[in-house]
Amino acid sequence: MKNNYSALNLIFIFLGSIVLLFIVAPLLGMLLNTSPAELIETTKDEEVQKSICLTLTTSFLSTIVFAIAAIPMAYLLARKDFPMKQLVLGIIDLPIVIPHSAAGIAILGFISRDSVIGRIAESVGLNFVGNPAGIAIAMAFVSIPFLLNAARDGFMGVPERLEKAALNLGASPTRVFFTISLPLAWRNIVSGLILMFARGMSEFGAVVIVAYHPMITPVLIYDRFGAFGLKYARPISVVFIIVCLVFFIILRMLAKEKKTQ
């Protein structure tokens, strides 16, 4: 196409640049206020390393574990009609909107020693509060809607006709799901997974109520900020953001590869 530079394109590029600038400017401001020496020092700080690892792994695991249930649910929401579906769809969006500390309080009630789940966990010697598992649950709660919505949109974009064609070829519904629906919705699901993963990593308000320790990076930043001020919190933020950026780029590239295979 030789339409690369049509008026519309120029307007779009202009608008896109504004958005990009809007995102980049604050980040750049943060980066420029941090000296390389500080960055290096922060990278070497064992507490920082540990917390970034913890954040990445808990969010990653919580994303993976909950995806196993959320993706099938998204499929149902895309394919089936049932009474009160609109209500269910509305409910699904709620965790996004709940004030984070309220979410934390709600989850605490859900997993604390007095709750059903808490008691079951205790009987096997597990206490969710102050435990990575509890952190993962808090992360999942606030971030699962992003996966659900993205996956649902993805599945809605898969023509039912192709699924039926696959059934006609003798494939079981399970096979059809894994070989047709899932791959065709893959792009959206990956987007959803990345959003869920990212959103989980950033959660502070809910996590800090469930578990101040072990410290995930947002809590660590808050803690350092409270104790020592911006100067000590900023380098951690920058390191964390850089690590995340690298992660996202890798994830997106992997996802792309998967698709073009």
Partner 1 sequence: NNGNRNNKELIIFHAGSLSVPFKKIAKEFKKEHPDIYLVLEADGSRKCARKITDLHRDCDVMASADYKVIDNLLISEYADWNIKFASNEMAIVYHSKSRYSSKIDNHNWYEILMNEDVVFGRSDPNYDPCGYRTVLVCKLAEKYYKQVGFTENMLQKDVNYIRPKEVDLIALLECNAIDYIFLYRSVAEQHGLQFIVLPDSINLNNPDFSDFYATVTVDITGKKPGEIITKKGEPMIYGVTILKNAPDNKAAMKFVEFLLSKEKGMAIMEKNGQQSLVPSPTNTYKKIPKDLKQFVIE
Partner 2 sequence: MLKIKNISKQYKDFTLDNFSFSVNSGDYFILLGESGTGKSLLLEIIAGLITPDKGEVFLNNINITFKKIQKRNIGLVFQDYAVFPHLTVKNNIAYALKAKKLKKKTINKKTIEWAEKMNISHLLERQPKTLSGGELQRVALARTLALEPVCLLLDEPLSSLDIHLRKELRYLLRKINNEGITIVHVTHDFEEAIALANKIGIIHNGKIVQEGTPKEVFHNPKSKFVANLSGIKNFYNAKIKSDEIVMLENSIEFKHFSGRTHGSGFVMFHSKDVVVSKNQIDSSMSNNFQGVIVDMIPTKHGVEVIIDIGIIISALITQNSVDKFNLSKDSSVWVGIKALAIKFVENK
User: Helix, strand or coil for residue 212?
Assistant: coil
- 2 touches partner 1 by CB under 8 A: no
Residue type, position 179, single letter: T
Residue 170: name its binding partner from partner 1, partner 2, its own copies, none (Cβ under 5 to 8 Å by kind): partner 2
Residues 215-234 that bind partner 1 (CB under 8 A): 222-232
> Considering the rule CB under 8 A, would residue 103 count as an interface residue with partner 1?
no
- Separation of alpha carbons 11 and 132, rounded Å: 47
Pick the binder of partner 2 from 164, 231, 252, 256 (CB under 8 A). 164
Asked if 3 is part of the footprint of partner 2 (rule: CB under 8 A), the reply reads yes
Cα separation, 157 vs 180, in Å, equals 12
Block residue for tokens 């803690």: 223
Nearest CB to its own copies, comparing residues 72 and 132: 72
Tokens 């690369």 belong to 4
Q: Which of 146, 117, 147, 148 is nearest to 134 (CA)?
A: 117
- Residues 46-105 within binding reach of its own copies (CB under 8 A): 66, 68-70, 72-73, 75-77, 80, 86-103, 105
**Of 137, 146, 145, which Cα lies nearest the Cα of 216?**
137
The answer to whether residues 189 and 117 touch, using CB atoms and an 8 Å cutoff, is no
One character per residue 6-45, x = contact with partner 1 (rule: CB under 8 A): ---------------------------------------x
Residue 123 interacts with partner 1 (CB under 8 A)?
A: no
Q: Taking CB under 8 A as the criterion, which residues in 148-187 touch partner 1?
A: none
For Cα atoms 244, 138, 26, give the angle at the middle one, nearest 5 degrees: 35
Angstrom distance (rounded) from CA 139 to CA 196:
9
How many amino acids of this chain bind its own copies (CB under 8 A)?
Answer: 103
Rounded to a whole number of angstroms, the minimum distance from the CB of residue 206 to its own copies is 10
Least CB distance to its own copies at residue 169 (A): 15
Kindly tell me which residue out of 119, 175, 231, 252 binds partner 2, with binding defined by CB under 8 A.
175
User: Could you tell which of partner 2, partner 1, its own copies, none binds residue 148, using a CB distance below 5 to 8 A set by kind?
Assistant: its own copies
**Is 114 near partner 1 (CB under 8 A)?**
yes
Smallest distance from partner 1 to CB 222, Å: 7
Nearer to its own copies, 132 or 243 (CB): 243
CA 27 to the chain's CA centroid: 20
> Around Cβ 148, how many Cβ atoms within 10 Å?
23
Count of residues in the chain: 261
User: What b/e string do you get for 178-206 counting C-beta neighbours within 10 Å, with b at 16 or more?
Assistant: eebbbebbbbbbbbbbbbbbbbbbbbbbb
What is the token pair recorded at 136? 């993962």
> Which positions touch partner 2 (CB under 8 A)?
1-3, 6, 161-162, 164-173, 175, 179-180, 183-184, 259
> Which positions touch partner 1 (CB under 8 A)?
45, 101, 105, 108-109, 112-114, 125-127, 129-132, 208-209, 211-214, 222-232
